[in-house]
Amino acid sequence: MEQTWRWFGPRDAATLAHARQAGATGIVTALHDIPYGEVWPIEAIRQRKAEIEADPSLGLRWSVVESVPVHDHIKYGKGDDLKQLYANFSQTLRNLGACGIRTVCYNFMLVLDWTRTDLAVGLPGGGRALKLNVHELAAFDCHILQRPGSERDYTPDVLQRASRWMDETPDAAKDRLLANIMAGLPGAFKRYGIEELREVVAAQATMTHERLRANLVQFLENVLPAAEEAGVSMCIHPDDPPRDLMGLSRIVRNAKDIDFILDAVPSPNSGLTLCSGSLGANPENDVPAIARCFAPRIFFAHLRNVTKDPDGSFMEADHLGGDVDMVSLIDVLVEEEQRRRKEGLPRSLLPFRPDHGHELIDDGARQTHPGYTVIGRLRGLAELRGVMTTLARQRGYEM
């Protein structure tokens, strides 16, 4: 499997040299400076590719795009510019294909991306981890955002703890909670203030699962022909967390949702980004089983782990710790890659990256995006590589 590393561009404190020292050979990046909905020019794609390949001794290549953002109007299914937005996304796919970049990860989450309430949970020895505390989410939703009807989405116990948190927490920590929730837009420079977030959440209160699904289907119908023409594989990322959030519908939560999406617009270029951490945050999801079910349609993998609490809270764990059976999951992915090689399928090499990492040792001295530390991801990649190497040798697979 191809070991990759997410890089946010030249301003990223986690550098390309760090990626190579960690053992990665593929880079996962995007053109974050280009506004959502605009075409990625070939010249800009070539420039980013040249930056990645500038030092031949590193041996790096641009392996996966994460992400070409889907404009909000596409997700909302409305706006006079829909036709142009579909055309722009399609042209970006053609431009990427023309530059030899064949895998595009995308998501269809409304308003927010991945969501955590605490970005610095203490670990033994002084490390830090990301966590979603449900009572803090409820405090934000019910007391700070003041979303109408929000109380119906939480248990009485959670609501009680949320009220206590509001009473006992300093104002500075309450202000920080908004920033923590906004941190899930790691590649974007847009951040919502509380009033703006209140407005956009309210505007999407009537967006049902059925309507959002229909908008996704319409999007795929319009852009997949260009993906096929360009030889680009599009792989949708699961919702994180995989459940409705602050009144916002989410539609990539489990095997049933994934099956619907892949069947709705049949195409060999439509597939899945298998994210073990996102899917693993739902106690009903058997992540290795989901991987086995959709193995031929997995074009990219995010590997991280979570530990879950009974109230729905979860924390990002060690890559080989937590509730997801990572060894069994990797076994499925290694086996699928070998199948592709034996059948002589094009681009049989399956890219994966260590998704998120704890803040370890001197990671705190670098201003990296939350979760995208250097040493924490280096450790995760090393652990995952060890499992893959062991499984491959046990089964006589080619590495």
Q: Which residue has the tokens 């046990």?
A: 394
> Which of 105, 142, 235, 275 is an active site residue?
275
Instruction: Find the catalytic residue in 113, 239, 355, 363.
Output: 355
Q: How far apart are CA 393 and CA 377, in angstroms?
A: 24
Nearest of 211, 257, 268 to residue 235 by alpha carbon? 268
Instruction: Judge residue 57's burial from the number of C-beta atoms within 10 Å of its C-beta, 0-12 exposed, 13-18 middle, 19 or more buried.
Output: exposed
Residue of 135, 319, 356, 358 marked catalytic = 356
Report the SS3 class of residue 166. Answer: helix
* Residue 302 a catalytic site member: yes
Report the C-alpha gap between 164 and 118 in whole angstroms: 17
Catalytic option among 302, 318, 358, 363: 302
- Helix or strand run (H / E) with residue 91: helix 82-98
Is there a catalytic annotation at residue 372?
yes
Q: Quick check: is 235 catalytic? A: no
Phi, psi dihedral angles at 20 (to 5 degrees): -70, -40
- DSSP for residue 71: P
Residue in the block written with tokens 């796919």: 93
32 assigned to active site? no
Distance CA 38, CA 29 (A): 17
Beta-bridge partner residues of 330: none
Name, in order, each residue with C-beta under 8 angstroms of 162's C-beta and a sequence gap of 6 or more. 135, 136, 138, 139, 142, 143, 154
Torsion of CA 141, 144, 145, 150, to 10 degrees: 40
192 part of the active site: no
Please, what is the angle between helix 82-98 and helix 209-230, to 10°? 40
Task: Return d(Cα 110, Cα 320) in angstroms, integer.
Answer: 30
CA distance linking residue 382 with residue 137, whole number of Å? 33
Which of these is catalytic: 237, 240, 257, 286? 237
237 is catalytic: yes
Q: Which residues are catalytic?
A: 237, 275, 302, 355-356, 372
